Amino acid sequence: MSNQNQNTRSTEALFEPYTIGNLTLSSRVVMAPMTRGFSPNGVPGPNVAAYYRQRAENGVGLIITEGTLIDHPAATDNPNIPNFHGEAALNGWAEVVRQVHEAGGKIMPQIWHIGMTRPVGAEPNPEALPIGPSGLDLEGNLVTKPMTIDEIKQVIQAYADAAANAKRIGFDGVEIHGAHGYLIDQFLWERTNQRTDEYGGDMLKRARFAIEVVKAVRQAVGPDFPVAIRLSQWKTTQYEAKLADTPEKLGQLLTALSDAGVDIFHCSTRRFWEPEFEGSELNFAGWAKKLTGKTVITVGSVGLDEVFTSLFTQGKGAGHKDIDELLNRLEKHEYDLVAVGRALLADPQWAAKVRDGRFDELEPFTPESLNTLV
């Protein structure tokens, strides 16, 4: 699409301040959480701080970090994913916070457990078996035993401890990763949750684990610290999956999470412009806004002409696409904030260039972008 069209369209709505409780963001642009794997032994170093600082210096209102690991031996399958526990990792994150704040930005960690997507025998703790509601992987295969009630309680406490640490070291909020087929989502999804106790059954029973995580996080951080949750219908490798096939079912889930203490719904889709349900143009974030009235973040191929899965299936990068539709929906208050992923990964100055109308200077996303932390 032509840059001329881009240059004549005002991007002002994207750069208006936004306030959530006591937190004011300088713009509506959010850096989406993206797994990078540049934290050896789980410790983020100066390169990680510089990476996030660059985005804060260039028009991003809120940074949501890559997924960071709660304190559980089976939380990951990669020793280069950053921890959110232990003195060394938390000191590293404190420096990230300092740098982002010095640059005028705001930042939340995303706290994460991958659940049953962890292969048996994976590093960094090969003796730790993967955990999940029913011991089933995303294809429905039995891998290990279901989590016990004691294990569930321990993991809920680990989320709460991570949130408390986020507040203690100066973050501006915390995001719970409840999307993409990882642990919390495995409880939400009927294929991976076949429990017959209080943590399984209908939508609200399957949501009990997520609700208890949110309540524990809220209790750990108090009433005024922003709590976000990232949700998706789709799962990693299961892109047609749905938690809710009607607005009514979605409303059940979102209302319960809202009541538990969620301030912000981060609604993950692969293409932000696609309607969530037949009969309405609203996307997932739009429905979350309509159903809860809470702050919502939209995400999904913002500014790019290819979805992220084309990278893995075809080795393809992505070129630029205008953001007129994004701006139209933002101006209609379909959503409040806009998360940008690969476009910001490829170009730390993406937000500043869009703000200033310098569309012809935007860097394309390439597969090579994943190999460096800049």
Q: Where are the alpha helices (DSSP H) in 222-292?
A: 247-260, 284-292
Inter-residue contact 234 to 241 (CB < 8 Å): yes
* 46: phi then psi, degrees, rounded to nearest 5: -60, -30
Number of structural domains (the chain) is 1
- Rounded to an integer, the average pLDDT of 189-200 is 98
Inter-residue contact 66 to 148 (CB < 8 Å): no
Q: Is 139 exposed, middle or buried (0-12, 13-18, 19+ CB in 10 A)?
A: exposed
- Cis bond leading into 124, ω under 30°? yes
Q: Is pLDDT at 174 greater than 90 in this prediction? A: yes
- Rounded to an integer, the average pLDDT of 185-210 is 98
Q: Is pLDDT at 118 greater than 60 in this prediction? A: yes
Q: Which residue has the higher pLDDT, 304 or 138?
A: 138
Rg, Å, the chain Cα set: 19
Q: How confident is the model at residue 310 (pLDDT cuts 50, 70, 90)?
A: low
At 76 the three-state DSSP class reads coil
Whose CA is closest to 341, among 315, 309, 314?
A: 309
Point out the least confidently predicted range of 147-161, 243-257, 294-308: 294-308
User: How many angstroms separate the CA atoms of 305 and 34, rounded?
Assistant: 18
pLDDT of residue 3: 41
* 207: phi then psi, degrees, rounded to nearest 5: -80, -5
Q: Is pLDDT at 371 greater than 80 in this prediction? A: yes
The residues facing 31 across adjacent strands are 63, 340
Q: Is 335 part of the annotated catalytic residue set?
A: no
User: How many angstroms separate the CA atoms of 45 and 249, rounded?
Assistant: 43
245-287 pLDDT per residue, tens? 999 999 999 999 999 999 999 999 988 999 999 999 999 999 9
pTM score: 0.95
Point out the least confidently predicted range of 50-64, 163-177, 243-257, 306-320: 306-320
Show the tokens assigned to 306: 């290819």
340-351 pLDDT per residue, tens? 999 999 999 999
At 166 the three-state DSSP class reads helix
Residue-number span of the structural domain to which 367 is assigned: 3-371
Query: CATH number for the domain including 289?
Result: 3.20.20.70
Q: How confident is the model at residue 2 (pLDDT cuts 50, 70, 90)?
A: very low
Specify the DSSP element, H or E, that contains 266.
strand 264-268
Inter-residue contact 364 to 357 (CB < 8 Å): no
- Rounded to an integer, the average pLDDT of 58-63 is 99
pLDDT of residue 4: 38
Catalytic-role residue among 52, 159, 182, 199: 182
pLDDT of residue 144: 98
User: How many angstroms separate the CA atoms of 2 and 365, rounded?
Assistant: 18
pLDDT of residue 86: 99
